[in-house]
Amino acid sequence: MSTDLLDKGYEPHDVEKRWYDFWQQEGLFSAEETGDRKGYAIVIPPPNVTGVLHMGHALNNTLQDILCRYRRLRGDNVLWMPGTDHAGIATQNVVERQLASEGTDRHALGREKFVERVWEWRKEYGGAIINQLKRMGASCDWDRERFTMDEGLSRAVRKVFVRLYEDGLIYRGNYIINWCPRCHTALADLEVEHEELDAHLYFFKYPFPDSDEGITIATTRPETMLGDTAVAVNPEDERYLNIPAEEVILPLANRRIPVIRDTYVDMSFGTGGLKVTPAHDPNDFEIGRRHNLPAVKAIGDDGRMTAEAGKYEGMDRMECRKAVLKDLEAAGLLVKIEPLKHSVGHCYRCHTVIEPNLSKQWFVKAKPLAAKALAAVREGQTKIIPATWENTYYDWLENIRDWCISRQIWWGHQIPAWTCEDCGEVIVTMEDPTECPKCKCDRLVRETDVLDTWFSSALWPFSTMGWPDEAPLLRTFYPTSTLITGFDILFFWVARMMMMGIHFMGEVPFKNVYVHALVRDENGQKMSKSKGNVIDPLTVIEEYGTDAFRFTLTAFAAQGRDVRMSVKRVEGYRNFINKLWNAARFSLMHLETAYPDMAEADISLPDRWILSRLDRVTRNVRETLDEYRFNDAASAIYQFVWHEFCDWYLEAAKPALYGKRGDAAQNATRSVLWRVLRETLILLHPFIPFVTEEIWHKLPGTEGSIMKAQYPSDNPDNQGIFHMPEAESRMNTAIATITGVRNIRGEMNIRPSMTLDIRVQSPDAETRQVIEAQREMIIDLARLSSLTVEEPGERPKSAATAIIENATIFASLEGIIDFAQEEKRLAKEIAKVEKEMAGVSKKLHNEDFLAKAPPEVVEKVRDRHSGFLEKHQKLQSNLEKIRSFVN
Binding-site residue numbers for ATP are 529
* Nearest C-alpha neighbor of 498 from the set 471, 479, 472: 479
Q: How far apart are CA 741 and CA 734, in angstroms?
A: 11
Q: What is the DSSP code (8-state) at residue 259? A: E
In 3D, which of 714, 730, 557, 722 has the Cα closest to residue 627?
557
355 alpha-carbon distance from chain centroid: 31
What residues contact 202, with CB distance under 8 A and at least 6 apart? 218, 219, 220, 222, 325, 334, 337
Question: Is the Cβ–Cβ distance between 205 and 261 less than 8 Å?
Answer: no
Alpha helices (runs of H) in 222-352, residue ranges in sequence order:
282-290, 317-330
Sequence-separated (6 or more) residues with CB below 8 Å from residue 287 = 230, 232, 260, 262, 264, 276, 278, 293
Q: Which helix (H) or strand (E) holds 333?
A: none
644: CB partners within 8 A, 6+ apart: 610, 613
Separation in Å, CA 690 to CA 31, 128, 222, 625 = 21, 22, 61, 20
Q: What is the DSSP letter of 315?
A: -
List of E strands, 560-692 = 563-565
Q: How many CB atoms lie within 10 A of CB 558?
A: 16
The Cα 565–Cα 551 span in angstroms is 12
Q: Which of 590, 547, 542, 551 is nearest to 692 (CA)?
A: 547
Rounded CA separation 124/10 (Å): 35
What letter would DSSP give residue 225?
G
- Ramachandran bin of 306, using left for φ above 0, alpha for ψ from -120 to 50, beta for the remaining angles: beta
CA dist., res. 413 & res. 450, Å (int): 5
Inter-axis angle of helices 366-378 and 389-398, nearest 10? 150
Residues at the binding site are 529
- Positive or negative torsion for Cα 630, 633, 634, 635: positive
CB 140 within 8 A of CB 82: yes
Residue 556: strand pairing partners: none
* Angle at CA of residue 347, ends 341 and 350, nearest 5°: 115
Distance, in Å, from the CA atom of 791 to the CA atom of 766, rounded to the nearest integer, reads: 11
Q: Which amino acid is at 847?
A: E
